[in-house]
Structure 1
Amino acid sequence: MPPEKKDLRNAGRGARARTPQFVKNFRGVKNWKEASTWLEWRQIEDIECITPDQAGVARGKMMPSKKFTSNTSLALPSAVFMTTITGSYPEDGNGFSYPEDDGDLKLVPDLSTLSVVPWESDPTAQVICDLVHQDGRSVEFTPRNLLRRVVAAYARRGLKPVVAPEIEFYLVRKNPDPDYPLTPPVGRSGRPIGGGQGYSIAGVNEFDELIDDIYHFSEAQGLEIDTLIHEEGAGQLEINLRHGDPVELADQVFLFKRTIREAALKHDTYATFMAKPIQGQPGSAMHIHQSIIDKKTGRNIFSTEDGSESEAFLHFIGGMQKHMPNALVMMAPYVNSYRRLTQAASAPVNTKWGYDNRTTAFRIPRSDPAARRVENRIPSSDANPYLALAGSLACGLIGLINEEKPDAPVGTTANEDRIDLPRGLLEAVERFEGDTTLRDTLGGGFVSTYAAIKKAEFETFMEVISPWEREFLLLNV
């Protein structure tokens, strides 16, 4: 076997001792030379070059690892990032224009995201890519670039956002026919899973083998799970991630969704991140914990030196209160999302804030001053993590810049009062397009593209006749 083909893992003891540490890392390398060594050491045959589209779906190309490391130019059609969840395309108008040439966008691999794909039978790796125009300019309407834009806006002010997402999802029985409702799965006890299992260890144990695969798949990719719990819904679980950089955490959520779906399929079960998959059961959220760090001092700007709340803390909340209803379509992107946002439910329909109050949109968890943070409880788990984080952080940043004042905190039940948020997708899109301050922060190219996609999705939804219409209108009107 030629030296360049030698498997370092099977080499002599001396060769193993000389193996650089980066090769053993589960996730990420610094440059192309390290990438080549990393792939060779693992005998990787194929590479998935992926990037999130507007829905958070992995798009990209697969290629042999040798081609990947040979300075190959990668590209995807720009139309990929203008498509709806149904695969159709929006109409031109209101600032959106479909490119007539459907030109290519270049995929630029972010080698810090290189990891294995543990569920593949053949040795396979994956890498998340950024998108640029042919001249190297960043593509402003793609999700990962949008989040980078918002983080950069903080950086220009000497600030660094820190986030920690919590993702809820359901395990459901396999159901290939969309005309039939989803039902809870059968656990190891042999009985269908029931609701009311919040924080139940027995509820988690019903899916021991599946959860073990989630942990094993995650570890192999260098993804860190902080905690895993059973939520209130039947077969509803929640994974909490450790706090960190917004782009890195969005990458983790993006990969976690793939991981959880694959682990579920291995056990003949679906994992779904729909906001409201089962009638009568709680919806699924993606709560986002947020704090802001001063890059020079490393101090959390939400706390003063004596540990009390800062003006910046209140301004951040003020910005969330004022602009979150206009950014809602980034947190609740589909018609199904609004089935979760109902009064007297665990999902907030208000813009209130309070201390350890789960009925408010913006909860302030109990913490020491260094960990003071704002939890945004509005986003649903169907949201693209890059867009949800970008939208949430953008609202807070606007509040910091404009020194927005929040309402007084609420200490009572807040989710039985008036509804402060848009009640449906079209209203949310209209509010989104009308907020000029939010448009300036996110970029006009993204706002017009995303709004056009959401309008087109609503129109395809309106073509479907629901069981409710057949039940109550068929013979009564």
Structure 2
Amino acid sequence: MADWTDKLPEHTRDYIAGRRVDEVECVIADVAGVARGKAMPASKFATQKSYFLPNSIFLQTITGDWADNPFDGFTEPDMVLVPDFSTATAAPWTADVTLQVIHDAHDQQGNPVPFAPRNLLRRIVGLFNAQGWTPVVAPEMEFFLTARNTDPNIPIIPPIGRTGRRAMANQAYSLSAIDEYGKVVDDIYDFAEAQGLEIDGILQEAGAAQVELNLAHGDPVKLADDVFYFKRLIREAAMRHDCFATFMAKPIEGEPGSAMHIHHSVVDTKTGKNIFSDRKGGETEAFLHFIAGMQNHLPAAVALLAPYVNSYRRYVPDFAAPINLEWGRDNRTTGLRVPVSDPSARRVENRLPGMDCNPYLGIAASLACGYLGLMEAKLPRAECSGNAYSGSDELPYNLGDALDVLEEDQAFREVIGTEFCTVYNSVKRNEYKEFLQVISPWEREHLLLNV
């Protein structure tokens, strides 16, 4: 036992604090960002260097169905999953001492599985590294706390707060509003501390019981791991207090959607200087190239940033969601915002991703667009200084169209990986086809007796 626990991060060793570890959860994110894997006794984990799972876990849809395997037919060859001990952390909501460890997926020859989301993100980071650059990201997480909903036919409603009243909308940045569900927030803080996860801040968003959690900037793979862990711990904290936490892009009709805005900067690996700023503190050509890459390739990336039919319900005017590829300084109506900052912190905020996206894929897709911009060295459109909501743009507005655009952008597909795109298309086409067979309440209400 001592051998493997010596490999654990300090915060995890502190959590154990001499106690016996009962169970280890060996986890890996599938295409949807759902945690898959195995749980085993710690004594078993101590003697096992890796374990096996079929590669078909990346072909499972969000409904539990299985998409067609475009490579191996029905053979479902095993992958070798290897623990990344730097990710080992507590599962503090369990009764016994339990740890979680994210694993990496290799094929049986030791090569990274190209359609494993974490491998994909690591490869995108490697493209930057090969140019002497280090990408830096800072994700923002938005989510709703809701009343328990056990019947999918019943609309989602806000939870009851400590005052005995349901949470109200239009209370952005209100401390009183977030105090309504303070016990949930307290548990989020406690769980995060036990897991060694850093929170930059928590605030009330515009929706009813809509919360935003900000993470400090850092390494893209590490931040994606953190978002992956945060989603689970937030759900667990909510259920402790008789409510749900949802990361759906648009869970409640008439309320704003939930985004995962991603802030991007790139530093020179040797000097540590932000390549978006020159010696005098001005904007560089690389900064403009990065924005141009996003404008030129984000339409293809939307299929990864908005991965479900519900995702596109967020892309509507006047609900604080971007529906354009314009860029502007400190302009929240643009899809690409440049926040006010010091030259060393100059960055681009991509406001398109929904909180329902897989964090590994969302960050990878966003970085891929910026990388292509740096390599193509094109200039962006003129800055938008007015209301970008009033215009229209070339973004796809449903999942089917988004998948079509993804197929058409060959440069983006090559950076993301053609094998991954093939698997992703198979999974998402299956989900979209299944959704189109569902008859909605709107159709029954307005069409049943009127057409």
TM-score range with shorter-chain normalisation?
A: over 0.9
The total of aligned residue pairs comes to: 449
TM superposition score normalised by structure 1: 0.92
In the alignment, does 2:305 pair up with 1:331?
yes
In the alignment, does 2:428 pair up with 1:454?
yes
Unaligned runs of at least 5 residues, structure 1: 6-18, 29-36
User: Judging changes above 3 Å, is the alpha-carbon distance between structure 1 residues 40 and 238 closer, same or farther for their aligned structure 2 residues?
Assistant: closer
The aligned counterpart of 2:51 is 74
Deviations 1:381-421 (A, max 9, x none): 00000000000000000000010210111111101211321
The aligned counterpart of 1:12 is none
How do residues 51-130 of structure 1 correspond to structure 2 at under 5 angstroms? 51-91=28-68, 96-130=70-104
Deviations 1:161-198 (A, max 9, x none): 00000010000000100001000111000001110010
How do residues 356-395 of structure 1 correspond to structure 2 at under 5 angstroms? 356-395=330-369
Unaligned runs of at least 5 residues, structure 2: none
CA drift of 1:27 comes to 4.2
The aligned counterpart of 2:209 is 235
Question: Which has the higher Rg, Structure 1 or Structure 2?
Answer: 1
The aligned counterpart of 1:322 is 296
Moved over 3 A (4+): 37-40
Q: Report SS of the residue matched to 1:225.
A: coil
Instruction: Tell me how far apart the structure 1 counterparts of residues 159 and 207 of structure 2 sit (CA, whole Å).
Output: 12
User: Judging changes above 3 Å, is the alpha-carbon distance between structure 1 residues 23 and 128 closer, same or farther for their aligned structure 2 residues?
Assistant: closer
The aligned counterpart of 2:279 is 305
CA drift of 1:451 comes to 1.1
The aligned counterpart of 2:10 is 25
Q: Report SS of the residue matched to 1:363.
A: strand
Q: Compute the RMSD of aligned alpha carbons.
A: 1.7
Instruction: Tell me how far apart the structure 1 counterparts of residues 8 and 307 of structure 2 sit (CA, whole Å).
Output: 39
AA matched with 1:26: H
The aligned counterpart of 1:288 is 262
AA matched with 2:402: A
CA drift of 1:98 comes to 4.8
CA drift of 1:345 comes to 2.6
TM superposition score normalised by structure 2: 0.97
Instruction: Tell me how far apart the structure 2 counterparts of residues 288 and 187 of structure 1 sit (CA, whole Å).
Output: 30
The aligned counterpart of 1:9 is none
Kept after mapping to 2: 8 A contact 1:224/1:241: yes
The aligned counterpart of 2:133 is 159
User: Judging changes above 3 Å, is the alpha-carbon distance between structure 1 residues 38 and 150 closer, same or farther for their aligned structure 2 residues?
Assistant: same
Deviations 1:50-71 (A, max 9, x none): 0100000000101111111113
AA matched with 1:108: V
AA matched with 1:41: G
In the alignment, does 2:142 pair up with 1:168?
yes
CA drift of 1:90 comes to 2.1
How do residues 9-24 of structure 1 correspond to structure 2 at under 5 angstroms? none
AA matched with 2:60: T
Paired residue for 1:138, among 92, 96, 112? Answer: 112
Instruction: Tell me how far apart the structure 1 counterparts of residues 218 and 313 of structure 2 sit (CA, whole Å).
Output: 31
Instruction: Tell me how far apart the structure 1 counterparts of residues 141 and 72 of structure 2 sit (CA, whole Å).
Output: 33
Paired residue for 1:196, among 170, 174, 177? Answer: 170
Q: Report SS of the residue matched to 1:26.
A: helix
Instruction: Tell me how far apart the structure 2 counterparts of residues 40 and 170 of structure 1 sit (CA, whole Å).
Output: 34
The aligned counterpart of 1:351 is 325
AA matched with 1:447: C
Instruction: Tell me how far apart the structure 2 counterparts of residues 449 and 155 of structure 1 sit (CA, whole Å).
Output: 26
User: Judging changes above 3 Å, is the alpha-carbon distance between structure 1 residues 211 and 98 closer, same or farther for their aligned structure 2 residues?
Assistant: same
In the alignment, does 2:226 pair up with 1:252?
yes
In the alignment, does 2:10 pair up with 1:49?
no
How do residues 197-212 of structure 1 correspond to structure 2 at under 5 angstroms? 197-212=171-186
CA drift of 1:41 comes to 2.7
Kept after mapping to 2: 8 A contact 1:337/1:382: yes
The aligned counterpart of 2:397 is 423
User: Judging changes above 3 Å, is the alpha-carbon distance between structure 1 residues 366 and 38 closer, same or farther for their aligned structure 2 residues?
Assistant: closer
Instruction: Tell me how far apart the structure 2 counterparts of residues 23 and 330 of structure 1 sit (CA, whole Å).
Output: 32
Instruction: Tell me how far apart the structure 2 counterparts of residues 208 and 424 of structure 1 sit (CA, whole Å).
Output: 36
CA drift of 1:23 comes to 7.1
Q: Report SS of the residue matched to 1:239.
A: strand
Which shifted more, 65-74 or 352-361? 65-74
Q: Identity over aligned residues, as a percent?
A: 51
Instruction: Tell me how far apart the structure 1 counterparts of residues 118 and 195 of structure 2 sit (CA, whole Å).
Output: 19
AA matched with 1:71: Q
Which shifted more, 96-105 or 254-263? 96-105
CA drift of 1:26 comes to 1.3
CA drift of 1:455 comes to 0.6
AA matched with 2:319: A
AA matched with 1:399: G
Kept after mapping to 1: 8 A contact 2:26/2:103: yes
AA matched with 1:348: P
Instruction: Tell me how far apart the structure 1 counterparts of residues 327 and 237 of structure 2 sit (CA, whole Å).
Output: 37
The aligned counterpart of 2:375 is 401
Kept after mapping to 2: 8 A contact 1:276/1:284: yes
AA matched with 1:56: G
Q: Report SS of the residue matched to 2:48.
A: coil
Q: Report SS of the residue matched to 1:220.
A: helix
User: Judging changes above 3 Å, is the alpha-carbon distance between structure 1 residues 350 and 81 closer, same or farther for their aligned structure 2 residues?
Assistant: same
CA drift of 1:425 comes to 0.3
AA matched with 1:77: P
Instruction: Tell me how far apart the structure 2 counterparts of residues 178 and 166 of structure 1 sit (CA, whole Å).
Output: 28
Deviations 1:301-342 (A, max 9, x none): 000011000000000000000000111011000000000001
Instruction: Tell me how far apart the structure 1 counterparts of residues 422 and 101 of structure 2 sit (CA, whole Å).
Output: 29
Kept after mapping to 1: 8 A contact 2:8/2:85: no
